[in-house]
Amino acid sequence: MVLLKSDEQMNKGDPAPDFSLINVDNSIVTKEMFNGKPFALIFICNHCPYVIPKMDEIAQLQKDYEGKVAIICISSNDPTDYPDDSFENMQKLAQEKGYKYYLFDETQEIAKAYGAVCTPDPFLFDQDHKLAYHGRFNDAMSPDATPSKHNLREAIDKMLAGQEIVDWFVPSMGCSIKWKA
């Protein structure tokens, strides 16, 4: 495991790069499907010890913001070297957790386009698909920590209330994305 902090490659207000990826239900999900609606992309994977404690909270976010903000998980890990992150295992996890969106970035081009480096690595975009927040999911920065601050949820709430997100970049920390050789 290589522990990394997220990197500030995009700036507040930058447009979301396009994406077209397969979802765990075998449908294709594109950025255009969310035109006029905000969305959060959370780069995750099945096996990361930094992601596992956040999985139930991700499912809760999807439920709490349904119809207001799409909560979209993406796995960009190489499943050849990390079989826990295969598409089939993504489907099993999504079924278990009730994830509506869990997309597979097989080519890893989307992770590169967004500048994602670790799991979890959340990006929040407003209704115009401009970057509003990039940073940690919550303040539990080790797998066994209990969160007391829910950064992504707070950013979503501020964005929906029309308030400025002052701390728009708060580095996340987790396992490195497992890049293909």
HSE-CB of 11 using CA atoms within 13 angstroms: 0
Rounded Cα gap, residues 66 and 50, in angstroms? 25
pLDDT averaged per 10 residues in sequence order, the chain, 181 residues:
71 97 98 97 97 96 97 97 97 97 98 96 98 95 93 98 95 94 85
- Complete DSSP assignment for 5-38: E----S-TTPBPPP-EEEETTS-EEEGGGGTTS-
Q: Starting from the edge strand earliest in sequence, which strands make up the sheet with 173-176, in order?
A: 3-5, 173-176, 118-119
3-5 and 118-119 strand pairing:
unpaired
pTM (predicted TM-score): 0.96
**If you compute the radius of gyration of the chain from its CA atoms, what whole number of angstroms results?**
15
pLDDT digits (tens, 9 = 90+) for 133-147: 999 999 998 999 999
Contact residues for 157 (Cβ-Cβ < 8 A; gap 6+): none
| All domains of the chain in start order, with CATH | 3-176 (3.40.30.10)
Collapsing DSSP to helix, strand or coil, 166 comes out as: coil
DSSP letter (8 states) at residue 98: T
Predicted pLDDT of residue 181: 85
pLDDT digits (tens, 9 = 90+) for 108-129: 999 999 999 999 999 999 999 9
Contact residues for 18 (Cβ-Cβ < 8 A; gap 6+): 30, 31, 32
